[in-house]
Amino acid sequence: DNNLQLDNELGEIERQIEELKRISRSQMDEIRNLRQTNQTKEKALRDEQKTLEGMEMTVKDAMAAAREEKERREEAEKRRLAAIAQAQKDEEERLRLAGAGDGKG
């Protein structure tokens, strides 16, 4: 009778051990799946970061090019205005000299 009870208890312990093993395997599978999911997400984040960095560089390059173009246009406008001012001075001087040559100056 005592042996039968011990056999029953031993059988129950063995079932519990198998259940714990099954739970442990299940948890290990879950952990493995979570790790894989995390790795996939991390890779996606790294890829997105690279894309954003590339976009940032594109924007910075475009801004620098726009700034250079603006400066180039401003310099061209300054040269144009300086040329107009010089032409006006030259014309005034020509007229003054022409007037002086006529005896009016």
Read off the pLDDT of residues 17-48 as tens digits, 9 standing for 90 and up: 999 999 999 999 999 999 999 999 999 999 99
Taking Cα atoms as reference points, which of 98, 77, 75, 79 lies closest to residue 87?
79
Coil, helix or strand at residue 105: coil
Q: Which residue, chain included where needed, has tokens 């006529």?
A: 102
Read off the pLDDT of residues 49-72 as tens digits, 9 standing for 90 and up: 999 999 999 999 999 999 999 999
User: Rounded CA gap, 26 and 68, in Å?
Assistant: 62
Collect all residues with Cβ–Cβ distance below 8 Å to 105 and sequence separation of at least 6.
Answer: 96, 99
